[in-house]
Structure 1
Amino acid sequence: MSEGLGPHRHPRQFIAFTAEMLYLPRGKAIRAKSMRRQSRMRAMASTPTPIENAKLVLTIYKHFRKRSGEVLWAENFQTYVKENSLNQEDVKSGLVYGYENKWFEDGPNGTIKLTADGFKEM
């Protein structure tokens, strides 16, 4: 018997989380990394809808603190996509949906302007 656990307690009766392992009551051990990976894979399995992609583009505008009528350069999108490990195709799909719904419009010198409708959706 382990000291400090009392006469009727066994160490495997608790759920204890450490950085390395997750101990379950049944005595099985699962690596925490494996659980996070499985969670990410489930999230990646579902394909985002065009409106979800457009909301993703709006988060890019929000990140750069843009308001209605302000613009972003293509480089701003590329930088954000790389830094956050996003899928470029999702961003393109979001831009297409946003253009169709008048959330974005062409700005000067190849920029993309956030419209009032787009700002309302943020």
Structure 2
Amino acid sequence: MGRVFLVELEGRSYRCRFCNNNVALADDVLSRTFNCSQGRAYLFSNVVNITSGPKEERLMLSGMHIVEDIFCCICGQILGWKYVTTHDKYQKYKEGKFVLESLFIPLTDGE
């Protein structure tokens, strides 16, 4: 496997609860009203320092979607998922966006 290059984030950011790796800026939150099996989740326009799993079709509360699970690139902890394709025209805004489970990503102030 190759070398991992991490993106450092400045300002308020969300980090992996398990290894403190930067994963998203607070300014990139699009919605805080998502839900997941573990509780609350947030929709992000952009995340960093993650790896993606294989694409799979998944039935969610809002219908059928093709998604990829996303993992912390340091510790491998699952953090949420990425919407790849949606089948409902009213859900198209989610395509290319990321959902991170709030349980796994505490908000920290920038240093």
If the length of structure 2 is used for normalisation, what is the TM-score?
0.32
Larger radius of gyration: 1
More strand by share: 2
Greater relative contact order: 1 or 2 (C-alpha under 8 angstroms, separation 6 or more)? 2
If the length of structure 1 is used for normalisation, what is the TM-score?
0.30
More helix by share: 1
